[in-house]
Amino acid sequence: MKEEYYAITSERRIEHPAVVAITEEARLELSAEWEGEGPP
């Protein structure tokens, strides 16, 4: 009997340089937007 396990994560490893650049820029923009929100 053989068992296999798969890890399910929300984070994927991105390797293509163009996709890395786009993803990082999007994260920075979203992070900047979220900093201004929240309880007073």
* 23 contacts 14 by C-beta, under 8 angstroms: yes
For 13, the token pair is 């490893």
User: pLDDT per position in the chain (40 positions), as tens?
Assistant: 788 887 777 677 788 899 889 989 998 888 887 776 544 5
Give CA–CA dist 3/27, Å, rounded.
37
**Can you give the pLDDT at residue 18?**
92
Alpha helices in 1-40 (DSSP H): 17-35
Over its C-alpha atoms, the chain yields an Rg (Å, rounded) of 17
